[in-house]
A and B are shown apart, each in its own frame.
Chain A
Amino acid sequence: MSDGRFGIHGGQYIPETLMNEIINLEKQYNYYKNDPEFCQELDDLLKNYAGRPSLLYYAEKMTKDLGGAKIYLKREDLNHTGAHKINNVLGQCLLAKRMGKTRVIAETGAGQHGVATATAAALMGLECEIFMGKEDTDRQALNVYRMELLGAKVNAVTTGTMTLKDAVNEAMREWVSRVDDTHYVLGSVMGPHPFPTIVRDFQAVISKEAREQILEKEGKLPKAVMACVGGGSNAMGMFYNFINDKNVRLIGCEAAGRGVNTAETAATIATGTLGVFHGMKSYFCQDKYGQIAPVYSISAGLDYPGIGPEHAYLHDIGRAEYVPVTDDEAVEAFEYLARTEGIICAIESAHAVAHAMKIAKEFDPEDSIIICLSGRGDKDVAAIARYRGRDLHE
């Protein structure tokens, strides 16, 4: 069995053409993650460019309204570019530069990872090309234009279901074609080893800060931390430094779309089975012959038929719980948070908010829970309006 396993999950299921590149990436990453100069440069960028640390905000009105645990929001939406994606991208682009790459490519679903990659590429002088499903370039037109403003080329992917998984397919095909000068900035804790580890490490800053912040504010650990899960990068970042705190529940909120009993869902843990795809062994939505299922969610960022291998492992050993949240519930939470706290969050993050609304009252008022607010919702406003039957002209 190869390197990079989380229990039975993970591995390196990729074409031979990429193997030396992936092995080299691991070697370089292991070197630079301990290189003081690299770490300092990344810290400096996170602090002075991305705006870290992000706030841990006590949502008092929401807490009072729901009754039960004190609700804290980890405000990744306040980062530069409006989502947690920048944490990983700054790290990977810095690494790409150190490796002598002059060009980066990335897949994107909602467009947040694409925007973050285009941003870091602009900052660091890297050529940048983004792959985005045609379905998503349509529903996230604003983000497409943002990427173009930042100097990136956006390729609308018209193969397959024209969503996130197809964008990953195309990015991988592009990488195989131009592996010498190009680094693939994978956006989630997925893909072949070492990506799930690299992305998790760069996102772990979320829980590192949140753990310190909650101890400072509450003097004790939270009862639960929760985050939305597509591939699972903000969730892995939110969970990581709490994994050893056995009394802290780790809750991942999957996109159930129109419901886990329908075909229009993207809830991988709820409906998927073990498989091998996009370079990793993990759980995937697929049919009985191992054909990957065309999944659905209102949220382009969670509209993915798989889940990162470390999540699959945390699920197997019972350390983390994964729950499905429907489109309807997410939209209601999106509106609720705007109304109650004056925060318009990403529709992805709203899946975690929705689940917190369901379970807050199961806890005592002296306890706290933290929701990772992975991104801001400007990009979703028009789509939510459409969902409510109003057609806005963007």
Chain B
Amino acid sequence: MSKVTEAFSNGKAFIPFLTAGDPKIEKTENYILELEKAGADLIEIGIPFSDPIAEGVVIQEADLRSLKAGTTTDKIFDMVASVRKKTDIPLVFMTYLNPVFHYGYEPFFTKCEEVGINGIIIPDMPYEEKGELNDIARSHQVDVISLIAPTSEQRIQKIAADAEGFIYLVSSLGVTGVRSEIKTDLDSMIAAIRKVTDIPVAVGFGINTTDQAANIAKIADGVIVGSAIVKMIAKYGTHAEQHIYTYVRMMKEAVMTANK
């Protein structure tokens, strides 16, 4: 079992996201440790990109704040190396293909292995294109996480059959960001996935309340929350520890109610 998949072995998983370097890279390590303390089972670390086309306004702005503060891919690797000395929690990167491509696939994934990154999510790299980095990532023990969307339909089978780590099920059409309602028929999508694989399924995009988290945890293996946390960091800047802890603790408890 890969380290990413292990995150789901203690019941339903709560997966928070934050943008590395927002508001500054020195703070990200603290926030990651805070997320773990509050009960996170796996943490998504965003490598900021200048033009994140799958993100809503909240994460777009976080990316720009981070880049403006001078965050680079190398500084993020250094930060991860440091945080890895203090925690064993599974860590995955979330970023766009260009920063990875431009770094060079081999150097990038070598570095991931070195610092202890266990997986990567690349929203602008669909099934058809992942061949160009899959083998390299695998040779460095980095799971390439596949996304499945409400529009995937008959594509679900081949994506799921080939998935590793966990499957990122996109809850709704559109970009990331807080939503008041999720209308997609997630049940039938998860059923379709279950027919081909037993890899865990985590749902993300739009989730921000404890009710949403509890409901999704009833049908999925994990709940992903990004914008709600990033919003908190936007609001409280370098003093967000307590707010992050309280929110994530509450969300984790909501997710755990589904274990009963």
Q: Is there a chain A Cβ closer than 8 Å to B185's Cβ?
A: no
Task: Flag the segment in B22-30, B94-102, B222-230 that touches A.
Answer: B94-102
Q: A16 and B173: CB pair below 8 A?
A: no
Q: B101 and A15: CB pair below 8 A?
A: no
- 8 Å CB contacts to B: which residues of A1-53? 1-3, 11-21
Complex: how many Å from CA A278 to CA B123? 12
Complex: how many Å from CA A18 to CA B147? 12
Q: Is there a chain A Cβ closer than 8 Å to B181's Cβ?
A: no
Contact indicator per residue, chain B 126-170, by CB within 8 Å of chain A (1) or not (0): 111101100000000000000111111101000100000000001
Complex: how many Å from CA A160 to CA B126? 25
CB distance from B136 to the nearest CB of A (A): 15
Complex: how many Å from CA A222 to CA B98? 39
Q: A160 and B170: CB pair below 8 A?
A: no
Complex: how many Å from CA A1 to CA B152? 20
CB distance from B6 to the nearest CB of A (A): 25
Complex: how many Å from CA A183 to CA B137? 35
Enumerate chain B residues within 8 angstroms of A172, measured Cβ to Cβ: 53
Enumerate chain A residues within 8 angstroms of B49, measured Cβ to Cβ: 290-291
The SS class assigned to the A binding surface is mixed
Q: A17 and B51: CB pair below 8 A?
A: no
Known contacts A177-B175, A179-B173; is-contact A17 B102 (Cβ 8 Å): no
Q: Is there a chain B Cβ closer than 8 Å to A275's Cβ?
A: yes
Known contacts A20-B153, A176-B174, A289-B73; is-contact A15 B50 (Cβ 8 Å): no
Q: Is there a chain B Cβ closer than 8 Å to A155's Cβ?
A: no
- 8 Å CB contacts to B: which residues of A289-304? 289-292
Q: Name the one of B53, B98, B155 contacting A275, with C-beta atoms under 8 angstroms.
A: B98
A281 (CB) vs chain B CBs: closest residue: B101
Enumerate chain A residues within 8 angstroms of B127, measured Cβ to Cβ: 16, 19
Q: Name the one of B54, B64, B102 contacting A289, with C-beta atoms under 8 angstroms.
A: B102
Q: Is there a chain B Cβ closer than 8 Å to A277's Cβ?
A: yes
Q: Is there a chain B Cβ closer than 8 Å to A178's Cβ?
A: yes
Q: Is there a chain B Cβ closer than 8 Å to A286's Cβ?
A: yes
Complex: how many Å from CA A278 to CA B98? 10
Enumerate chain A residues within 8 angstroms of B175, measured Cβ to Cβ: 173, 176-177
Complex: how many Å from CA A291 to CA B102? 9
Q: Is there a chain B Cβ closer than 8 Å to A247's Cβ?
A: no
Q: How large is the interface on B (under 10, 10 to 19, 20 to 34, 35 or more residues)?
A: 35 or more
Complex: how many Å from CA A286 to CA B51? 11
Contact indicator per residue, chain B 81-110, by CB within 8 Å of chain A (1) or not (0): 000000000000000011111110000000
Complex: how many Å from CA A131 to CA B151? 24
Enumerate chain A residues within 8 angstroms of B73, measured Cβ to Cβ: 289-290
Known contacts A176-B175, A275-B98, A286-B102; is-contact A14 B126 (Cβ 8 Å): yes
Q: Is there a chain B Cβ closer than 8 Å to A103's Cβ?
A: no
CB distance from B184 to the nearest CB of A (A): 11
Complex: how many Å from CA A379 to CA B18? 44
Q: A275 and B102: CB pair below 8 A?
A: yes
Complex: how many Å from CA A77 to CA B103? 42
CB distance from B207 to the nearest CB of A (A): 17
Known contacts A275-B101, A286-B102; is-contact A20 B152 (Cβ 8 Å): yes
Q: B173 and A176: CB pair below 8 A?
A: yes
- 8 Å CB contacts to A: which residues of B47-72? 49-51, 53-54, 56-57, 60, 64, 67, 72
Q: Is there a chain B Cβ closer than 8 Å to A75's Cβ?
A: no
Known contacts A17-B173, A177-B173, A290-B99; is-contact A12 B128 (Cβ 8 Å): yes
Q: A15 and B126: CB pair below 8 A?
A: yes
Q: B98 and A16: CB pair below 8 A?
A: no
Q: B103 and A16: CB pair below 8 A?
A: no
Q: Is there a chain A Cβ closer than 8 Å to B182's Cβ?
A: no
The 3 A-B pairs of least Cβ separation, nearest first, read A290-B102, A177-B174, A17-B149
- Residues of A in contact with B (beta carbons under 8 Å apart): 1-3, 11-21, 159-160, 165-166, 169, 172-173, 176-179, 273-279, 284, 286, 288-292
A-B contact pairs, 19 of them (CB 8 A): A11-B129, A13-B124, A16-B151, A16-B159, A17-B149, A19-B149, A21-B151, A159-B57, A160-B51, A172-B53, A176-B54, A176-B173, A176-B174, A177-B175, A273-B102, A275-B98, A291-B49, A291-B67, A292-B98
Q: A173-B54, A278-B53 are in contact. List 20 more A-B contacts (CB 8 A).
A: A13-B129, A15-B147, A16-B147, A17-B150, A17-B174, A19-B149, A20-B155, A169-B51, A172-B53, A176-B175, A277-B98, A288-B102, A289-B73, A290-B73, A290-B98, A290-B101, A290-B103, A291-B67, A292-B51, A292-B98
